[in-house]
Amino acid sequence: MPGDRLQKIVLFPATARGHELAARLSARLPSSEIRPLSRGEVSSFWEKGNGLVFVSACGIAVRIVAPLLRHKQEDPAVVVVDETGRWVISLLSGHLGGANALARKIARLLPAEPVITTASDLYHLPALDLWAEETGAILLPPERIPAFTARYLSRGGLRVFREYPLPLPAVWEEVSEPEKADLIVSYRQRDLSSSQLLAVPRVLYLGLGFNRGTSAEAIEKAVRETLSRNRLLSQALRGVGTLEAKAREEGFLAFCRKTRLSIFPFSPEELSRRVKEAGLSISRAARQAVGAFAVAEPAALLAAGPGARLLVPKEKTPEVTVAVAEARQSPGKLFLVGIGTGDPGEMTPAARRALCEATHVVGYGKYLELVEDLLAEKEIYSTGMTREVDRAERALELALSGHRVALVSGGDPGIYGLAGLVLELLSEKGLSGPVEIEVIPGLSAANACAARLGAPLMHDFAVVSLSDRLTPWETIEARLRAAAEADFVIVLYNPRSRSRPEHLSRARRILLEYRSPETPVGIVKAAGRDGETVLLSTLGSLPEEKVDMQTTVIVGNSRTFFFGPWMITPRGYRGRRF
Ligand code: SAH
């Protein structure tokens, strides 16, 4: 987590003078804020990816953070600036946490002298842990890393034997025999001397074929045996390709969850095409059972992406067929991110992390403005509101060509957002390259707006969008009737647009056929954004002109009531059952 990718920078001044300095810095540091210096405040930001800047004496910072320390891979960056702004000390998590980079950045702004004490920086050597993080390699065995690093720094160099072409810093020396190396880059099991370290590149992809109902244990056993027969390390595995219809099997899903492998599903046509392209042998059994020329080998190759090489041709147990391919290109990643309302406090840490990790961000202009702070130095692709297909296609294209991409939706990406569209596009087009997809949930308008009203969603509720851009109005009307008849609380998304101002009145007329004009209605506009408003009204006297496309309308059920500013739908705890 280099310092220029920090999610949030929090400045903790100890004195009034320190506060002035913090204010100066905060104005020039994106995603930063000033908080009072207390252990409670510091602990609430204690999370990898954040940068904590104490404007105080080192002793104060050390005493406050001491009880919070966990591990260098988990702790945030901690930097101390003296209150005259002369020294900027990188105190904790210099490399992986990004404190060195943050200290240098702050020093440039003040300007001041950065104080960096991590050895590799003193000797101007590339840090081993940062190299491993950037190339995605895993260093084994982990307990040897500290002594190994100490030797590397005192020798001032590193000899590397590469069995796989991971990029190396220019100052490291490449050797042609493994015995002469300090570091060996390989995904194979190796006998190491006591001073050697292994860097395992995560570039292997499984292709799996299996019978219906095969258990996770059987899959795991077959994979383990194939790996060990071929002396391959499980740490090098990144993903697993299989037939699309098999990717829903319980045993397969459990295996993938346990081993944390990304899933790459392929249609029979895609598999058959790859069989032909690669000149693989055709399996009569696979053809009969699933309609593809073969499964394991083409699935491994497809998952591993362009330029992949089949490392282990298929190996069979009675239930499972395993093949392994080696990738030559690192896979792209597509985060389908929900940013919540736009209020930074209503965005999840996972969403923030995804935006920080992405190099490319795609979204509707207005949503991107809400997270502007996090977008410095990224490639941005923004479009108008109705260009969803463009955005989804663009994001997918970028990810398929190997980039880390975040596609931003307001609220939750899977609720009238872009997650479904992307997955639909994939299901139509197939995976044309290796791309990992991660859906990151967000606070949806229903949650955010309900909270502002009190507790209107305490009983069964239905969500209906009044936009007929993609749904025929008859369908919308039929769903409204059904929800109204069944006495659901009803949350209306897209309630009223400039081009279709009459949708809300039509919906209201329908609801009034089933519910009394006294039914409570909560109207929340621009939750978490500038101009947030909350209105309490009733179905009979709903002020339609106050509702726009940034508004969510919540219509109570027959039991919903107002108490002061609160809209409450009773759940039945008070002795009555609803
Ligand atoms: N994916 C979004 C919904 C997109 S549909 C989510 O999960 O929230 C767009 C509709 O959501 C808007 O017309 C409005 O009805 C509602 N909405 C989105 N953000 C809102 C906000 N901040 N305040 C009130 N309603 C909002």
As assigned by CATH, the class of the 204-326 domain is alpha beta
Q: What is the mean pLDDT of the segment spanning 266-278? A: 94
| Position in ligand 1 atom list of the atom nearest CA 417 | 1
pLDDT value at residue 431: 66
User: In degrees rounded to 5, what are phi and psi of residue 335?
Assistant: -95, 125
Q: What is the DSSP pairing of strand 566-568 with strand 533-538?
A: unpaired
Q: Strand 520-525's sheet: what is its strand order?
A: 461-465, 489-493, 551-555, 520-525, 533-538
Q: Ligand 1 centroid to 404 CA: how many Å?
A: 26
Residue nearest to atom 19 of ligand 1 (CA): 445
Rounded Cα distance between 91 and 62, Å, is 9
Instruction: List the residue whose alpha carbon is closest to atom 4 of ligand 1.
Output: 416
> How confident is the model at residue 344, as a pLDDT?
86
Q: Per-residue pLDDT for 277 more than 80?
A: yes
Query: What per-residue confidence (pLDDT) applies to 432?
Result: 61
Q: Give residue 504's Cα distance to chain centre.
A: 36
Is the predicted pLDDT of residue 3 greater than 60, yes or no?
no
Cα of 284 to ligand 1 centre, how many Å? 51
Cβ atoms of residues 23 and 34 within 8 Å: yes
Region of poorest pLDDT, from 17-21, 83-87, 202-206, 571-575: 571-575
Closest approach atom of ligand 1 to CA 492? 15
pLDDT, mean of residues 314-328: 96
Pocket test for ligand 1, best of 407, 453, 493, 555 (most atoms within 8 A of CB): 493
Q: Cα torsion for 200, 202, 208, 212, to the nearest 10°?
A: 100
Number of Cα atoms under 13 Å in the Cβ half of residue 363: 30
Please choose, from the candidates 305, 299, 260, 262, the residue with its C-alpha nearest in 3D space to the C-alpha of residue 280.
299
384, amino acid identity = G
Mutate to test the pocket of ligand 1, among 407, 409, 416 (most ligand atoms within 8 A of CB): 416
Q: pLDDT at residue 240 above 60?
A: yes
Average pLDDT over residues 463-480: 96
CA of 448 to the centre of ligand 1 (A): 9
Q: Which H or E element spans position 559?
A: none
DSSP character string of 136-200 = TEEEESGGGHHHHHHHHHHHT--EEEESS-----TTSEE-SSGGG-SEEE-SB-----TT-EEEE
Kind of pairing between the strands at 561-563 and 489-493: unpaired
Ligand 1 pocket test: which of 552, 553, 554, 555 has the largest number of ligand atoms within 8 Å of its C-beta?
Answer: 552
Predicted confidence at residue 317, as pLDDT, reads 94
How many angstroms separate the CA atoms of 198 and 143, rounded?
12
Residue 171's pLDDT band, with cuts at 50, 70 and 90, is: confident
| CB of 242 closer than 8 Å to CB of 267 | no
What is the rounded distance in angstroms from the CA atom of residue 475 to the CA atom of residue 326?
Answer: 49
Residue matched to tokens 């083409």? 298
Q: What is the DSSP string of 434-479?
A: -EEEEEE----HHHHHHHHHEETTSS-EEEEE---SSS-HHHHHHH
Give the Å distance between the CA of 239 and the centre of ligand 1: 35
Q: Does position 7 have pLDDT exceeding 90, yes or no?
A: no
Residues of the chain with CATH 3.40.1390: 128-201
In angstroms, what is the span from residue 401 Cα to ligand 1's centroid?
31
User: Ligand 1: distance of its center to the CA of 444 in Å?
Assistant: 7
What does the block give as tokens for 128? 């081993």
Residue 169 has pLDDT above 70, yes or no: yes
Residue pLDDT, tens place only, 31-56: 899 999 999 999 999 988 899 999 99
Give the ligand 1 atom nearest the CA of 341: 22
More confident of the two residues 100 and 134 = 100
Q: Using one digit for the tens of pLDDT, what is the confidence trace for 73-109?
A: 789 999 999 999 999 999 999 888 899 999 999 999 9
Q: CATH second-level architecture of 333-443? A: 3-Layer(aba) Sandwich (3.40)
Q: Which fold has domain 3-117?
A: Rossmann fold (3.40.50)
> Average of pLDDT values for 444-451?
98
* Residue 408: C-alpha distances to residues 352, 358, 380, 390, 412 (Å): 11, 11, 11, 13, 9
Report the distance separating Cα 63 and Cα 14, nearest Å: 13
DSSP 8-state code for residue 499: S
Start-end ranges of CATH 3.30.420.180 in the chain?
A: 204-326
Of 70-84, 187-201, 455-469, least confident by mean pLDDT is: 70-84
Residues in the chain: 578
Q: Which fold has domain 128-201?
A: 3.40.1390
pLDDT, average across residues 312-316: 96
Q: How large is the average pLDDT for residues 224-246?
A: 96
Region for residue 135 given its phi and psi (left: phi exceeds 0; alpha: psi -120 to 50; beta: otherwise) = alpha
Cα–Cα–Cα angle for 72, 73, 76, rounded to 5 degrees: 70
Atom 3, ligand 1: which residue's CA is nearest? Answer: 416
**Whose CA is closest to 503, among 474, 469, 466?**
466
Confidence of residue 573 (pLDDT cuts 50, 70, 90): confident
Atom of ligand 1 nearest to the CA of 442: 7
Amino acid sitting at position 463: V
Q: What is the mean pLDDT of residues 147-174?
A: 91
Residue nearest to atom 5 of ligand 1 (CA): 416
pLDDT value at 5 more than 80: no
- Percent of the chain scoring above 70 in pLDDT: 98
| pLDDT reported for residue 499 | 84
Does the pLDDT of residue 561 top 60, yes or no?
yes
Of 243, 257, 250, 247, give the one whose Cα is nearest residue 302. Answer: 243
**Ligand 1: centre distance to CA 493 (Å):** 6
Residue 461 CA, ligand 1 centroid: distance in Å: 17
Distance CA 354, CA 566 (A): 35
Check if the beta carbon of residue 468 is closer than 8 Å to that of residue 497: no
Residue range(s) occupied by CATH 3.30.950.10 in the chain: 446-568
Cα-to-centroid distance, 46 and ligand 1 (Å): 31
Give the CA count within 13 Å in the CB-facing half-sphere of 462: 17
Atom of ligand 1 nearest to the CA of 446: 8
Check whether 4 has a pLDDT greater than 60: no
Residues with CB under 6 A from ligand 1: 341, 409-412, 415-417, 444-445, 449, 493-495, 524, 526-529, 549-552
Q: What is the pTM of this model?
A: 0.76
**Within the chain, which residue ranges are assigned CATH 3.40.50.11220?**
3-117
Cα(43) to centroid(ligand 1), Å? 32
Q: What is the mean pLDDT of residues 443-454?
A: 98
In the predicted model, is pLDDT for residue 315 greater than 60? Answer: yes
Q: Which residues pair with 490 in a beta bridge?
A: 462, 555
How far apart are the CA of 552 and the centre of ligand 1, in A?
7
- Helices 99-109 & 16-28 angle (0-180, nearest 10): 100
pLDDT tens readout for residues 343-378: 988 999 899 889 988 999 999 988 898 888 788 778
The preferred substitution site among 336, 418, 494, 555 for testing ligand 1, maximizing ligand atoms within 8 Å of CB, is 494
Q: Compute the average pLDDT of residues 196-211.
A: 96
Decide yes or no: CATH 3.30.950.10 for domain 446-568.
yes
What is the rounded distance in angstroms from the CA atom of residue 336 to the CA atom of residue 300?
A: 25
- State the pLDDT at residue 378: 87
Dist. CA 408 → ligand 1 center (Å): 13
Range from 30-44, 112-126, 349-363, 456-470 carrying the lowest mean pLDDT: 112-126
User: For position 89, what pLDDT does the model report?
Assistant: 96
Q: CA angle at residue 365 from 361 to 368, to 5 degrees? A: 50
As given in the structure block, the two tokens for residue 83 are: 């209150």
Give nearest CA residue, ligand 1 atom 2: 411
Give 286-307 pLDDT, tens digit per residue.
889 899 999 999 999 999 988 8
Q: How high is the pLDDT of residue 574? A: 74
CA-413 nearest atom, ligand 1: 1
- Report which ligand 1 atom has the smallest distance to the Cα of 409: 1
CA–CA dist 46, 27 (Å, integer)? 22
429 Cα: distance to centroid of ligand 1 (angstroms) = 29
